[in-house]
Structure 1
C-alpha cells in the first residue's frame, strides 16, 4: 500500500486536516515532556547563579573565580558533545537521554560538598561532561518527527524551557536558600543543590519508559499517521546535499563552522544573561534572595511569549533571516539600556527586552543547520555547532566576572554582550537566503 493511500484512503495525497492532526498529536505527546526535561536541565546548569549569592561569600570566591567555574561547565560539554550525540544516534534517544539526566542529577546534587575553588572547578567540569549531548540530542531527535518547516515552533516551545526555568526556578532557588539556610548544619545553597537535583533523576528514569526513538516505534501512532511522518521526513532528506554517513565531511564543512560562529554570538548573550541575572537584579537595589528570584523571573516571563510568538511567525511565513536579526538587535539594545540606566524599573524592563531578544535567537537559529544536515552527519554537525557555540558559555561568564572585578560594575560586560549580538545578526544577514528561508 502506498503512503498516500495509507494516509488517506481514497485520496491521491493525505488530507490536510489528517496531516495537521497527526503533527498536533505528535507535538502534544513529545514536546511538553521534552520541555520538562530541559527545564530541569537548565535549572541544574544555571542555579549556580543563585548559589553564588551565598556561596561566594561563604567560600571567599571572587567574581572571576565564580565566572571561571560557571564557564568550566562548557569545557566538559565541548569535549564530550560530538561523541555523545553520535552515541545517541546509534543507541537511540530513549536510552541515552535517560542516562544523561540521571548522571547529571547525581553530580548536581554532589555540589553540596563543594568547599573550595578547586572543587568548584572540578564539579562544574564534570557536570558539563554529564550533560553533554542532551540539547543537541533533542534537536536531532526532533528531526526524526518533524520536517524543517514545522521545527521552528517545536524548537521554540522546547527552548521556552530556558525562561520557564527562570520563572519558576529563580523564586524556588531563592526560597530554598532563605528557608533552609542553617538546617541540619547546611547552608541554603547546599540545600538548593541537593533538592533541585532530585527531579533530574526521577524524570531521567521516566524518559526510558516514555520516549520512543522514532515514529515506527510509537505504539500510540496509527499506521497511516506513521506513514505521513515518514513520507515527509524522507522527502526532506532527499533534498539534502550533505553525506549522511561522513563525520569527517562535517568537520571540513565551512558552512558548519559559520553556523558555529553565529551560534557562539547568540549563546554569549544567553549565558551572560542567565548566569548573571541574580547579580544584576541585586545590583539594581532588590534585597532578599526570594525577592531577587521573583524580580528576575519577570524578564524570563516576557521571553516565553516572545519566543513562542516569533517561532510561530517564522514557520507561518517560512522566513528566518529577519526573525533572527530583529530579536538579536533588540537584545543588544536591551543590554545597553540596562547597563546605562540608574532606575530599577527601567533596568528590569530593559532586561526583559534583552531576554526576549537573546532567548528567541537560539530556537530560530536551529532551523538553519537542520535544513542541510542529514544522518550521522546531522548528529555530528548539530553537536559540533552546539559545542563550539556553547564555548561562549565558558567565555561569557568568565569575561563578565573579570570585567566586574576590574571595574566594579557589570556595565562593561553587558556592552560586550551587545556587541556579540550585533556580530551574530550581521552573520545571519550575509547567510544565503536560500538556506535561511526553508
Structure 2
C-alpha cells in the first residue's frame, strides 16, 4: 500500500512538472529566440551594411560588441527590479523596448549612430536572460534546473538554425524594396516580432505558482512544497542567505564570472563571425550562407540537450562543463589549421559550437546555489553581465586582428580556442571538491 502511494505520488509529481515545463519553456524559448536573433543578426547585416557604409572590420567589431557595455551597466539593476515587480511586467517591458530599438537600427548611417543604437539595444535587453534563469528557480527545484535551462538555451542554437536562412533570404529578396537596403529590412522584420511578443508576455506569464490558475490546488501545493524543501536542503548544507552587497564581494561570484567570460568569448565568435567565415571559405551567395549556417547550430541544439539531461541524471556538473569546453577548444584549434578550410572548417566549427552550448547548458545550474533571497538576483546578474563583457571583447579583438593581419581568420579562431581551454581549467578550479552525486545546486 505504501509502495503504491509512493508510486502515485511520484507519477503526480512528474505529471505536474511536465505540465509546468510544457506551459513555460516553449513560450520562454520563443522569447529567447527573438532576443538572441536581435542581438546577433548584425552578423548577417554585416554582409551588406559594412560595404554600403564603408565600415572596417574593427568598426563592425566595436559596434557588435558595444551592445554589451549597455548590457553590463544595466544588468544588475534590471534583475533586481525584476525580483521586486515580477517577471511578467518586467520581461514584457524588456521585450517591447528592445524590439523597438532593434528595428531602429535601419537608421544606421555612420559609425557613431551604429555604436549608439547597439549600446541602447544592450540597455534595453539587460536583465532578460538572467531574469529568466532566476524566474525558473521560482518554479523548478534544483534537480530539474539543468535540463530546463538546457531546453531554454537551445533557443540560442535554434535562433541560429532558423535565423540564418531567414536572414539570408531577407538580405537577398528585400534589397532595394521601398528604397531600403536588405540589411535595413533585416533589422525591421526581425525587430518588430520582439515588441509584439512583449505584449503577449503581459497576458501569458505568471510570476509564481500561486498565481497560476492553469494549475490545480494540489499541483500548486506540490510546487510550493518542493521549492521549500529545496531551500531547506540548501540551508542544511551550510549556505548562508547572503545580502545583495555580499554578492559583490564573493570570490565565487567573480570566479564564475571569469569562467562565463571565457565560454562567451567562443559563443560570440561563432555568432558574430560565422556568416563571414562561410562567405570567405565556401560561398558569397547570401541565401546559401544562411542555409549553411544552420549546420553548427543544429548540431549544438541536439548535443547540449543530451549533455544537460545526462548531467541532471548523474548529478554531475564539473566534468560536463569542463569536458565540453575542452572539446570546443580542440575543435577551434583544428578549424584554425591551414588544411581545415571550407567544409572541413564548418565541421570543426560545428563541434566547437556544440561544445560551447553544452557547457552553457550546465553552467547556469551552478549560480543559483551560491546565493539566496534577493542576493540571487544580483549574483546571477553579476555573473551574466560581467561574463558578457566577452561579448564586447570577442568581436572587438576579432575585428582588430583581422584588420591587422589582412583579413585572416586563423589567429581569431586560435584566440577562441585558448579562451575555451581557460574555461575548462577555471571549471575544474571553481568546482574543486564537488561531489559526483550532488543535486544541481552545489
Name the TM tier (shorter chain).
over 0.9
User: Aligned partners of 1:135 and 1:86: how far apart in 2?
Assistant: 13
User: Aligned partners of 1:127 and 1:435: how far apart in 2?
Assistant: 41
Structure 2 residue aligned with 1:301, among 288, 292, 298?
A: 298
Tell me which residue corresponds to 1:81. 75
Structure 1 residue aligned with 2:350, among 348, 352, 356?
A: 352
Q: 1:148 to 1:295 in 2, by over 3 A?
A: same
- Is residue 336 from structure 1 mapped to residue 333 from structure 2 by the alignment? yes
Structure 2: unaligned runs, 5 residues or longer:
none
Q: Secondary structure at the match of 2:336?
A: helix
User: Aligned partners of 2:141 and 2:272: how far apart in 1?
Assistant: 33
The aligned runs of 1:122-137 (5 Å cut-off) are 122-137=116-131
1:373 to partner: Cα distance = 1.8
- Is residue 269 from structure 1 mapped to residue 266 from structure 2 by the alignment? yes
1:302 to partner: Cα distance = 0.6
Residue pair 2:282, 2:343 contacting (<8 A) in 1 also:
no
Tell me which residue corresponds to 1:418. 417
The range that moved more, 383-392 or 238-247, is: 238-247
Equivalenced residues, count: 430
Tell me which residue corresponds to 1:374. 372
Partner deviation per Cα, 1:304-350 (whole Å, 9 max, x = no partner): 00011111100011111111111111111111111213441211110
1:283 to partner: Cα distance = 1.4
The aligned runs of 1:145-160 (5 Å cut-off) are 145-160=139-154
1:381 to partner: Cα distance = 0.3
Aligned-residue CA RMSD in angstroms?
1.6
Residue pair 1:332, 1:421 contacting (<8 A) in 2 also:
yes
User: Aligned partners of 1:363 and 1:316: how far apart in 2?
Assistant: 14
Structure 2 residue aligned with 1:106, among 92, 96, 100?
A: 100
1:285 to partner: Cα distance = 2.3
Structure 1 runs (4+) greater than 6 angstroms displaced: none
Residue pair 1:242, 1:377 contacting (<8 A) in 2 also:
no
User: Aligned partners of 2:360 and 2:122: how far apart in 1?
Assistant: 19
User: Aligned partners of 1:258 and 1:14: how far apart in 2?
Assistant: 43
1:363 to partner: Cα distance = 2.1
Tell me which residue corresponds to 2:323. 326
Residue pair 1:332, 1:417 contacting (<8 A) in 2 also:
yes
Tell me which residue corresponds to 1:176. 170
Q: 1:12 to 1:192 in 2, by over 3 A?
A: closer
1:14 to partner: Cα distance = 7.3
Residue pair 2:318, 2:434 contacting (<8 A) in 1 also:
no
The range that moved more, 331-340 or 66-75, is: 331-340
The aligned runs of 1:48-87 (5 Å cut-off) are 48-87=42-81
Tell me which residue corresponds to 2:283. 286
User: Aligned partners of 2:313 and 2:197: how far apart in 1?
Assistant: 33
1:227 to partner: Cα distance = 1.5
- Is residue 95 from structure 1 mapped to residue 62 from structure 2 by the alignment? no
Please report the TM-score for the alignment, with normalisation by the length of structure 2: 0.95
User: Aligned partners of 2:435 and 2:201: how far apart in 1?
Assistant: 34
